[in-house]
Structure 1
Amino acid sequence: MVAVCGVKMGQLQRWFQCYITYTTTLKIVYAFSNVALYKPASMDSFRDIYPPSAAVDGDSTTAIHTDTVSVPFHWWEVDLLNSYTITTVTVTSRDCCPGRFRNFTIDLTSDHQTSAPVTQLCHYYPGSFARFVTSTIACDETLTARKVKVTMDSSDDRPLDINEVKVKGLHVCGNYWLQFTLNAGVKRSESPLLQTDVESRQACSHRCRENIACDAFQTLTSSSSVTCQLFTGRSGATISDSNWKYYSFSG
């Protein structure tokens, strides 16, 4: 089966072909994930031991820190290398200097315009972070972009320093498809990342692929609802149980 999907970016309408294959036990699906991890980053200035890459290295104990230069604004930016539909940006502040990181803007830049890139506001955050706090910031609307930029007012000579940035995104109809594989006759026996009641097995799969930490899910269907459990990791301890349907990402 061939499906055609379109994504509107500003005034430009781009169309892509997405090839989706179905079998009795396998379905190709799209999945949200942290699309900023290990991607190239830059900033207006930095100290040698606090490079811009430290904010996307997957280690919340490393940090970025702008140099002691007097500028109206400090900024940090990550290039995602492809276009993604972006919903949230998660920021972890440094384990020092509470209140330093505050009143910042998150902007998204698209690279699919014919003339020049277009930058749109994801969200303006008024207020300050306490020390070593992680906060997930939802964009005011779902946007498609290649670059994510954090800009902070530095008119009072405050440096921009944060530990980690995660960008929750979905690749725009490229080759980044993942597969849910049904593991027949087994139930994952460890404690789930999250458990909730949903209306269908499909709704549970949506919960999993929208959660950065989710790699697998399982469902138990009753006459009134569907119990949905999400798991971290594509494999784990299982027991024999034909009442549950256990799915994991593969491919």
Structure 2
Amino acid sequence: MGSQDMEPLRKCVFLVMTFLGMLRTVDGFKNVALGKPASMNAYREGNPPSAAVDGDNTTFIHLPSGPLAPISWWEVDLLRTYYIVSVSITNRGCCDTRLRNFTIDLISDHLSASPTTRLCHFYPGSIGKYVTEVIACDDLLTAQKVRVTKKGHLDFSEVSIKALPACGGLQFTLNLGIRRLDTALRQLVVDSTTMCAIHCREEIDCDAFQTLTSATNVTCQLLVGQNGNTVTDNNWKYYHLAE
């Protein structure tokens, strides 16, 4: 890759590093859902889908009166692709047994003719009145849309999504059950796969990384290049920069 080809990549890395530097002084990641376009399968007049991303915990979404659809859903379009770090849901001050047993799904970018939907997390149990639950995705995933789905009635006050922009070619592709054998650029212990990806993006020479997850932490190996000897190892997950 020539120096001219590398320039957009360096610029993107610089922007990401600058962004991360600012975020680390203000409690992690900003809420990328605030004020973004929202939709749902049906809603009651006065309780539109936008109420869940208006930054006001006194407003809420609500389905219309009458028979309910078998599955209810609410969705926000983040307008660009992000690494989703966490999804926070705040329940309204009513019906604390209603917001229960729901699924958070992530949907790929709108340019695809057949968008990919992947599971972020299934939340079992209930969220109490006025309670905010912070929910981390089960794996490092990118998405443009985030959807909340459950059987029966669906209502809540607010959704906040903390995320990191996935710019240009700096999106990672997951390869399950594969481990690279070459010497790591750097090995460290982090608290999540997302943090491993962030460390890789901060290293200009890092083109891939692999993780080994335990009950308490994640072993993170940063790798140079996207080619190397690999073996099948179901304990590891290998990520490389998308083409």
- Asked if TM exceeds 0.5, the reply is yes
CA contact (8 A) 2:12 2:167 kept: no
Residue pairs, 1:88-107, within 5 angstroms: 88-107=86-105
Could you say if the C-alpha distance between residues 136 and 2 of structure 1 is closer, same or farther in structure 2, counting changes exceeding 3 Å? Answer: farther
The count of aligned residue pairs is 158
Deviates more, 1:112-121 or 1:34-43: 112-121
Structure whose residues are more often helix by fraction: 2
Residue pairs, 1:57-206, within 5 angstroms: 57-68=54-65, 69-111=67-109, 115-154=113-152, 159-173=153-167
Q: Which amino acid aligns with 2:74?
A: W
Could you say if the C-alpha distance between residues 67 and 21 of structure 1 is closer, same or farther in structure 2, counting changes exceeding 3 Å? Answer: closer
Map of 2:222 onto structure 1: none
CA contact (8 A) 1:38 1:57 kept: yes
**What SS does structure 1 have at the residue aligned with 2:18?**
strand
- Which structure has the greater CA radius of gyration? 1
Structure 1 segments of 4+ aligned residues over 2 angstroms from their partners: 1-5, 27-32, 112-115
CA RMSD of aligned residues (A): 2.7
Could you say if the C-alpha distance between residues 2 and 130 of structure 1 is closer, same or farther in structure 2, counting changes exceeding 3 Å? Answer: farther
Give the alignment's TM-score, normalised by structure 1: 0.57
**What SS does structure 1 have at the residue aligned with 2:137?**
strand
Could you say if the C-alpha distance between residues 21 and 45 of structure 1 is closer, same or farther in structure 2, counting changes exceeding 3 Å? Answer: closer
Could you say if the C-alpha distance between residues 114 and 97 of structure 1 is closer, same or farther in structure 2, counting changes exceeding 3 Å? Answer: closer
Could you say if the C-alpha distance between residues 131 and 20 of structure 1 is closer, same or farther in structure 2, counting changes exceeding 3 Å? Answer: closer
Extract unaligned runs of 5+ from structure 2. 24-28, 169-194, 199-243
2:22 equivalent to 1:28: no
Q: Which amino acid aligns with 1:168?
A: K
2:35 equivalent to 1:38: yes
- Name the CA distance, whole Å, in 1 between partners of 2:38 and 2:12: 33
- Name the CA distance, whole Å, in 2 between partners of 1:21 and 1:142: 19
- Name the CA distance, whole Å, in 1 between partners of 2:162 and 2:88: 8
Q: Which amino acid aligns with 1:141?
A: D
- Name the CA distance, whole Å, in 2 between partners of 1:72 and 1:28: 45
- Name the CA distance, whole Å, in 2 between partners of 1:102 and 1:21: 40
Extract unaligned runs of 5+ from structure 1. 6-15, 175-205, 210-251
Out of 14, 17, 20, the residue aligned to residue 9 of structure 2 is 17
**What SS does structure 2 have at the residue aligned with 1:53?**
helix
Deviation at residue 17 of structure 1 after TM alignment: 2.5
Deviation per CA, 1:178-208, whole angstroms, max 9, x where unpaired? xxxxxxxxxxxxxxxxxxxxxxxxxxxx9xx
**What SS does structure 2 have at the residue aligned with 1:141?**
coil
Structure whose residues are more often strand by fraction: 1
Deviation at residue 18 of structure 1 after TM alignment: 4.4
